[in-house]
Amino acid sequence: MQNKKKNRFSKIMRILMTALTSLLIVLILIIILMVSRIQGTARVVNYAGLVRGKTQRIVKLEDARMPQDDMIADVKGYIKGLRFGSEELDLVSLDDKAFQAKMEELDDYFDTLKQEIDLVRQVGYENTNIIEKSEIFFNLCDVATGLAESYSQRIATRLKQFETLTVIDIVILVFMILYELLKALRYAKANRELKSKIYLDEATGLPNKNKCEEILTLEAEQNMAICVFDLNNLRIINNQQGHERGDLYIRSFAKSLRKGVDENQFVGRCGGDEFIVFFKNVTKEDVKRNLENIKKECAKCSEIPLSYAAGFAYSNDFSTLTMRELFCQADKNMYIDKNQAKIKEANHKRNLILNVIQQLKEKGFNFSDCIYCDAKADAYFTLRAGYSFFLAEDGNYSGAIEQILNELFNEDKRKDYRNVLNVDSLNKHVTKDNPIFEIPYYHQLNNTEMKGKIMAVYLDSDEYGNLHHFVLGFKMYSDTVEMDEKKQLMRYYDQLKQSILENANYIEALMNMAQSIFSVNLTQNQIDGIYDKYMQKNKKPVLPCSYETYFKQWKSNVLEDCLGSFSIVESCQNLLDRYKAGDKHVTVEYQIKMPDDRVIWVQEMILMSEETIYDIDIQKERNIVRAIILFRNTSTFHEKEDRDKEKLQLAYQKVDLESKAKTDFMNRMSHDIRTPINGILGMMQIIRKNWGDMDKLDDSLNKMEVLTKHLNELVEDILNMSKLESDHMEIVNEPFDLKCLVEELNSLIDAEISLQNITYHNHMENVVHTHLIGDALQLRRILINLLTNAIKYNKSNGTIDMFVREMSSDDSKVTFEFEIKDTGIGMSEDYIENHLFTPFSQAKQDARTRYEGTGLGMSIVKGLVDKLGGNIDVKSEVGVGTQIKVVLTYQLDTSKNEKQDTSKLDLKDKRILLVEDNEINMEVAEFYLNAVHANVDKAWNGLEAVEKVKEQPNQYSLILMDIMMPKMNGDEGAKCIRKINPSIPIVAMSAQSEYSIDQTIMNDSISKPIDEQKLDQILSKYVA
């Protein structure tokens, strides 16, 4: 954009300069013409005066009787010249009408004056009017002269104006010329700078590749040398520490190079990490001296360690070489030096790895995946890496942290663990005194759980005591003992590879992975070496020996079932055939019988390779196939596999039994659930047909209520069992009154006891503390289940006794024993031990018809007792009765809160918002609320509820909120309402068995179908 503006401005300047120059030429031409005209005007004025003067002389001479015809003719010529211009007289005709009119008058009057002169000649001047007429003529001459002068003055004024314009034009042109001159000078300067930049490397200040290439085109001379330098590890520094650090590396070397080389010699950057030095008039010793100086200067660099390769070529060593060829020779020598440096660095790194691995082993660590970290350089490289390790071979430690977080930590934990893994945090936790720092992790990825720990192991500190080098080791744990074959093989391969890499002695490395190793010449059927730590010397064969002979003896120990597998490795020819078919390694497993009659599993791995040897016998080369055979005792693995299979079989049997139990349960439930439903439908038909019979209606409604409660109990049992099995049952610790809870239980079972004609006694023994903190709902469930079973399985005219005993107490806790004793049908010892607490189980197969139920009651009781941290004891005798004791501990409630009386609720001044999408549920809840005289507003979804609260934010004393609704569910609606009015009580209404309230948005919850008594308790708590 700026370039376009500059170009447009330059174009305008050029057009203006052209226009001004053209104007100047026109002005100069006009001025020349006007000067010429002024000059002509001056002659006109002069001749106008001359006309007067000569005429005056003529008159005088004529009066003196001296005729002047020639002068008269001259004056007549002057007048004609003044009128029309005259080349002879060099007169111009003035372009002035007044002057021309006056001259015409003057010309006419001169003719009159001539006639008067003729008369003077005849009669003398005394008898004529010559004097008067001459005066008139003179006056006309004066006027004409004045007009000519006035015209001249006007021309002079115009000339002055044109001169002013010309001066202005010239000044503008001068300024424009000066501007263009300055611009030209600036461009010249810029061109000089650009020319210098073309040959200058901005990053280092040295001559750049263009200059170096220019020099390489010159002819080589005697006593010249070219030295080429290449920086080592620039790519690694860029990758690990960033490009800024890489640029510093280049600049530091360039500075050291320039200082180390003699000032009169050329030093340039040949591009990237390559530099070049041209030496003139030097000896080889001078070049070597300069190289030593460069080495010293690089060693002085404190900003960053410098490593480079160098090579030089001296012109006197070659007969005829161009500069380019000399450069190529120096470049070759540099790469020789570079390879040597790489070998040194590789050896140094290998020694470092071995040293660190040895340190880790001494500290008791054997990581499959670990990295060596440099805290100061913010860099790392891998010490060990398995097939599934996710970090690159080397890189930036800060970048590695991000990769670790992404791979091993869930998103919500990454921020916290980023702070834990950074160098500043590790500097505090990993010290010489505290050399180990463990960081556990857990990650859920695509239904796969990954868990383990990262261990930071201290190695050394810098001169200031800050952490310098450390190891990060990764340990991953598996949830099961199972592992597929591929993973096993990959892990085995990793261990084998690491063992080989980390042991200087290859054989020792292999020995760490196997009990025995054979070196075999398969082509010649010959065992060359046996390496076995455990084999007795007298058992080893004399080497070399025949492979097939040795393994024929070995075959006698192989179990018959495994001979098929063993036959693959029995002969060299079998293995050679495998090798020719493309198999480089063969693995077999078989069982052998040991001398002490033990049977073990042996894994034999054959690694084959081909090589060329010179056979002295036949005096020529030939190919042979060699093999390394590794023998491992894999009995432990197979024992583990057998155990795993046994566990799998047991697990399968367990699942199968549970599946059969659930199938039996579903068969029972199909009957038990349909029975009350059919009863309810039947009662509804009876009601319709007996609409006017109030006794019949009342009886049918009571029976429907009983059937509905029974159906609800069936569903509750199933849901409670599901919660316990999935560990989703929540225990709530709230204040409650044990005495009131027992009274409620008595009321609940009173009707059933009366119907069954059973005698019930309630005993409170040594109960001192009744105000407790715990989960009253779960205690009620336990006791109701036990009492219901005692009623259900009792005999006619039987008895039930419930004992509540306070066993012990201290300042904060109290322990109770709850005993339920009945005179029912009883249970066998076998049933108590093996089936009582099994889900879906009943003591008699026909119990579901005689005694309605799910068979889940005692399973729920056992699960709840365990959840509450108590214990249960059951004693029973068939035909005599059952005694069940439950021991539970509760905290003492030391607060003075009194329970509100809900029997006289009157909420006529309270407004409640009822949010429900189901019409029947809405009608039922509204009925209960109207019963306590509450004012009810209705909303059919969360969105509608939010709008009502927006309209009247402080209107409602309570909101009863359904959860599953269209448009906006209950949780979302509650969140929005909390933003409008944070203090309004919101109680969730849910039929979901798994629903648990979010206490940040909901105050409480009530399950559906709504129980009137529970609703009254909610209303008393939050509204009354």
How many residues make up the chain in this entry?
A: 1024
Residues 1002 and 961 sit within 8 Å (Cβ to Cβ): yes
CA atoms within 13 A on the CB side of 250: 23
As given in the structure block, the two tokens for residue 764 are 């409170």
Which pLDDT belongs to residue 856?
59
For the cut 80, the answer to whether the pLDDT of residue 740 exceeds it is: yes
Which pLDDT belongs to residue 197?
58
For the cut 60, the answer to whether the pLDDT of residue 827 exceeds it is: yes
* Whether residue 880 sits in one domain with residue 742: yes
For 356-401, write each residue's pLDDT tens digit.
988 888 888 888 889 999 988 888 999 888 777 888 888 888 888 9
CA distance 18 to 14: 6
Which pLDDT belongs to residue 370?
92
Q: Is residue 498 part of a domain?
A: no
Residue with token string 């050679």: 576
- Reduced to 3 states (helix: H, G, I; strand: E, B; else coil), residue 739 is helix
CA distance 786 to 858: 8
CA distances from 594 to 238, 557, 590, 602 (A): 60, 7, 13, 11
Mean of the pLDDT values across residues 155-184? Answer: 83
As given in the structure block, the two tokens for residue 750 are 């009173």
* Bridge pairing between strands 516-521 and 526-532: antiparallel
Mean pLDDT is lowest, of 302-306, 722-726, 954-958, for 722-726
CA distance 549 to 532: 19
Q: Is residue 437 part of a domain?
A: yes
What CATH number is attached to the domain comprising 277? 3.30.70.270
291 versus 710: which is more confidently predicted?
A: 291
pLDDT band at 958 (very low <50, low <70, confident <90, very high): very high
DSSP string over 623-687: EEEEEEEEEEE-HHHHHHHHHHHHHHHHHHHHHHHHHHHHHHHHHHHHHHHHHHHHHHHHHHHHH
What CATH number is attached to the domain comprising 49? 1.20.120
Mean pLDDT is lowest, of 129-138, 366-375, 479-488, 967-976, for 479-488
Residues 87 and 45 sit within 8 Å (Cβ to Cβ): no
Closest CA to 914 of 942, 933, 954: 942
Which pLDDT belongs to residue 717?
60
Q: Burial, 692: exposed, middle or buried (Cβ in 10 Å; 0-12, 13-18, 19+)?
A: exposed
- Reduced to 3 states (helix: H, G, I; strand: E, B; else coil), residue 801 is strand
Q: Is residue 421 part of a domain?
A: yes
* Domain finish residue from 633, 654, 687: 633
Q: Where are the beta strands (DSSP E) in 303-352?
A: 308-314
- Reduced to 3 states (helix: H, G, I; strand: E, B; else coil), residue 26 is helix
* Whether residue 386 sits in one domain with residue 473: yes
CB atoms within 10 A of CB 458: 22
Q: Is residue 7 part of a domain?
A: yes
CB atoms within 10 A of CB 231: 22
* Whether residue 145 sits in one domain with residue 95: yes
For 503-525, write each residue's pLDDT tens digit.
555 555 555 667 788 889 888 88
450 versus 57: which is more confidently predicted?
A: 57
Which pLDDT belongs to residue 848?
37
* Bridge pairing between strands 799-809 and 759-765: parallel
As given in the structure block, the two tokens for residue 790 are 């005692």
* Whether residue 385 sits in one domain with residue 331: no
* Bridge pairing between strands 467-477 and 813-822: unpaired
* Domain finish residue from 459, 479, 499: 479
Q: Beta partners for 590? A: 602
* Whether residue 414 sits in one domain with residue 389: yes
Q: Where are the beta strands (DSSP E) in 478-582?
A: 516-521, 526-532, 545-546
168 versus 716: which is more confidently predicted?
A: 168
- Reduced to 3 states (helix: H, G, I; strand: E, B; else coil), residue 73 is helix
Cα of 172 vs its chain's centroid, Å:
64
587-590: list long-range contacts, CB under 8 Å, 24+ apart: 589/562, 589/565, 589/634, 590/558, 590/559, 590/562, 590/563, 590/565, 590/566
What CATH number is attached to the domain comprising 524? 3.30.450
* Whether residue 286 sits in one domain with residue 247: yes
Gyration radius of the chain over CA positions:
60
Portion of the chain with pLDDT greater than 70, in percent = 83
* Domain finish residue from 181, 201, 225: 181
Q: pTM higher than 0.85 for the full model?
A: no
Which pLDDT belongs to residue 972?
92
Alpha helix (H) residue ranges in 363-484: 397-408, 414-421, 423-429
Q: Is residue 774 part of a domain?
A: yes
- Reduced to 3 states (helix: H, G, I; strand: E, B; else coil), residue 552 is helix
Which pLDDT belongs to residue 864?
82
641 versus 595: which is more confidently predicted?
A: 595
Q: Is residue 715 part of a domain?
A: no
Q: Beta partners for 810? A: none
* Whether residue 1008 sits in one domain with residue 916: yes
pLDDT band at 91 (very low <50, low <70, confident <90, very high): confident
Mean pLDDT of all residues in the chain?
A: 81
Residues 6+ apart with CB under 8 A from 922: 914, 916, 938, 940
For the cut 60, the answer to whether the pLDDT of residue 840 exceeds it is: no
What CATH number is attached to the domain comprising 852? 3.30.565.10
For the chain, how many structural domains are there in total?
6
As given in the structure block, the two tokens for residue 605 are 């791995």
Which pLDDT belongs to residue 906?
82
* Whether residue 11 sits in one domain with residue 87: yes
* Whether residue 837 sits in one domain with residue 757: yes
* Bridge pairing between strands 369-374 and 379-384: antiparallel
For 1007, the domain range is 911-1022
**Backbone phi, then psi, for 740, in 5-degree steps?**
-65, -40
* Whether residue 531 sits in one domain with residue 627: yes
Mean of the pLDDT values across residues 442-446? Answer: 68
CA distance 748 to 627: 85
CA distance 424 to 433: 17
CA distance 513 to 733: 58
Q: Is residue 701 part of a domain?
A: no
As given in the structure block, the two tokens for residue 707 are 């059937």
Q: Is residue 652 part of a domain?
A: no
Residues 518 and 527 sit within 8 Å (Cβ to Cβ): yes
* Whether residue 880 sits in one domain with residue 916: no
- Reduced to 3 states (helix: H, G, I; strand: E, B; else coil), residue 765 is strand
pLDDT band at 943 (very low <50, low <70, confident <90, very high): very high
For the cut 80, the answer to whether the pLDDT of residue 540 exceeds it is: no
CA atoms within 13 A on the CB side of 656: 6
CA distance 379 to 400: 9
853 versus 683: which is more confidently predicted?
A: 683
Mean of the pLDDT values across residues 312-329? Answer: 86
* Whether residue 880 sits in one domain with residue 747: yes
